[in-house]
Amino acid sequence: MASYLLRRLLGTLPTLLGVSVLVFLSLHLTPGDPAQVILGPKATATSLAALRSELGLDQPIHVQYARWMAGVASGDWGRSIQLKAGVLPLVWERLKATLILAAAAMLIAVGTGVALGIVSAVRAGGLTDRSAIATSLVGYSLPPFFLGIVLQVVFGLRLGWFPVTGMYRPGGSDLPDLLLHLVLPAVTLAAGIGALLARMTRSTMLEVLSQDYVRTARAKGVRPGAVTLRHAFRNALIPILTIIGLQMGYVLGGAVLVEQVFAWPGIGTLAVNAILARDFPLVQGVTLLVAVTYVFTNLLTDVAYSLSDPRITYR
């Protein structure tokens, strides 16, 4: 396992390098001048040229890329043009907020989605199954920004159960306050993922429940709950783990809409503001960190395969 992990870690380097090249080129070849954005429309040509020289934007693009990658390798990800601060501390601070939201959303999605899928498969064809299918279809079809607004209006403004924006109340920083602010955005983000997991779990469980070893376990008098969870569910875990791993990457990189709706101070909000301000160093840092997180999430998913199924070994 150790040698496999080492090979995988080394294999991620070309992927991350390719991501860094694509991000760098896409940002630097698009129209727009960061110097013009910073100094405004009334800036003189002399002041614009001086700022471009200070930021290194007047150098050839390959020189800019090499200088940026050298800084990344040494831990210096540059300085934000807009916020006048180091990119890595800014991104790391916002990433912690996104990780909290993503973890809560995945807990809700996995808990409800897998449970709903198992119940639906065990009672296939019945009212429970049809209700679960309809619920998952609705959850998967609703756009996150629409569902978020609906939850804000119903549970925040009309019922007053939960706050509708932010991560804490003004001046607050305690855990109960965080949990109250976390409920609505986490449910919004978890709805589509939970629906997808419910459909996948149901489909996989139906296939496994029809296998001969499951019928044999039932014929030997094994309790129905043990047949479902110990025999059937464990053998249905591989495709479910695959979906969970992919969706974890999506949650980290795709929570932009939810963070915008709920004013959650995460990495998505930071990325949107940086793009609008043409803040090249900050956008590059956000994208690179999300890519690194996504790659390591896939690696953890592969490790989970071997833990869930002893027949899978890595050499």
5: in domain: no
Q: What are the tens digits of pLDDT across the range 116-164? A: 888 888 888 788 878 888 888 888 788 888 888 888 899 888 888 888 8
Q: What's the rounded mean pLDDT across residues 43-48?
A: 76
Strand partners, 176: none
Q: Look up residue 85 and give its two tokens.
A: 């601060």
- Residue 271, domain member (yes or no): no
Which tens digit of pLDDT belongs to each residue from 174-193? 788 888 888 999 998 888 88
In angstroms, rounded to a whole number, what is the distance separating the alpha carbons of residues 78 and 88? 8
Whether 60 is in a domain gets the answer no
What's the domain count of the chain? 1
* Residue 119: inside a domain: yes
Residue 81 resides in a domain: no
Mean pLDDT of the chain: 80
pLDDT digits 0-9 by tens, 177-233:
888 888 999 998 888 888 888 888 888 888 888 777 777 777 777 787 777 777 778
What is the domain extent for residue 213? Answer: 92-265
Residue whose token pair is 């198992």: 118
Region of residue 32 (left: phi > 0; alpha: psi -120 to 50; beta: else)? left
Domain containing residue 136: CATH number: 1.10.3720.10
Which burial class, exposed, middle or buried, applies to 182 when counting CB atoms under 10 A from its CB (0-12, 13-18, 19+)? Answer: buried
Does residue 160 sit within a domain?
A: yes
Mean pLDDT, residues 73-101: 82
Asked if 172 and 160 count as a contact pair (C-beta separation under 8 A), the reply is no
Residue 213, in any domain of the structure: yes
Q: Is residue 124 part of a domain?
A: yes
